[in-house]
Amino acid sequence: MKLVQTGGNEGYELIDFGNGRKLERFGSQVLDRPMLGNRAEKAIPALWESAGLIYAGERMNAKGGKWRSALGEAESQLSPWECRIDGLKLEIIPQQTGQIGVFPEHWLQWDWFGRWISSRREQGLGVRILHLFAYTGATTLWLAKSGAEVTHVDAMRHAVDWGRGNALRSGLDHLPIRWIVEDARKYVARELRRESRYDLVLLDPPSYGHGRKGEAWEIHRDLVPLMQDCWASLTGNGYGVVLTSHSSMICAKELKMEMRAHCGQDLPIETQEFDAFLVDRSGRRLECGNGIRFVNHGK
Rounded CA separation 34/64 (Å): 14
Q: Return the CATH superfamily for domain 12-92.
A: Golgi alpha-mannosidase II (2.60.40.1180)
Q: Return the C-alpha torsion angle 68, 160, 37, 112, nearest 10.
A: -130
Going from N- to C-terminal start, the domains of the chain cover: 12-92, 104-296
- State phi, psi for 178 to the nearest 5 degrees: -100, 125
Contacts of 45 (CB under 8 A, 6+ apart): none
pTM above 0.85, yes or no: yes
What is the CB neighbour count within 10 angstroms for residue 127? Answer: 22
- Span between the terminal Cα atoms of the chain, in Å: 29
Q: How many CB atoms lie within 10 A of CB 77?
A: 11
Query: What distance in Å separates the CA atoms of residue 115 and residue 180, rounded to the nearest whole number?
Result: 26
> Collapsing DSSP states into helix, strand and coil, what is residue 46?
helix
Q: What angle do CA 73, 77, 82 make, to 5 degrees?
A: 105
Residues 39, 19: Cα–Cα separation, whole Å: 6
Its CATH class, for the domain covering 104-296, is alpha beta
CA gap 291, 245 in Å, rounded: 6
CA distance 141 to 251: 29
Q: What is the pLDDT along the chain (299 residues), one digit of tens a residue?
A: 545 443 445 799 999 999 999 999 999 999 999 987 778 999 999 999 999 999 987 666 656 678 988 877 666 567 899 999 999 999 999 988 889 999 999 999 999 999 999 999 999 998 999 999 999 999 999 999 999 999 999 999 999 999 999 999 999 999 999 999 999 999 999 999 999 999 999 999 987 777 777 778 787 788 889 998 999 999 989 999 999 987 666 666 777 777 777 665 666 788 888 888 999 999 999 988 888 898 887 55
CA distance 85 to 71: 27
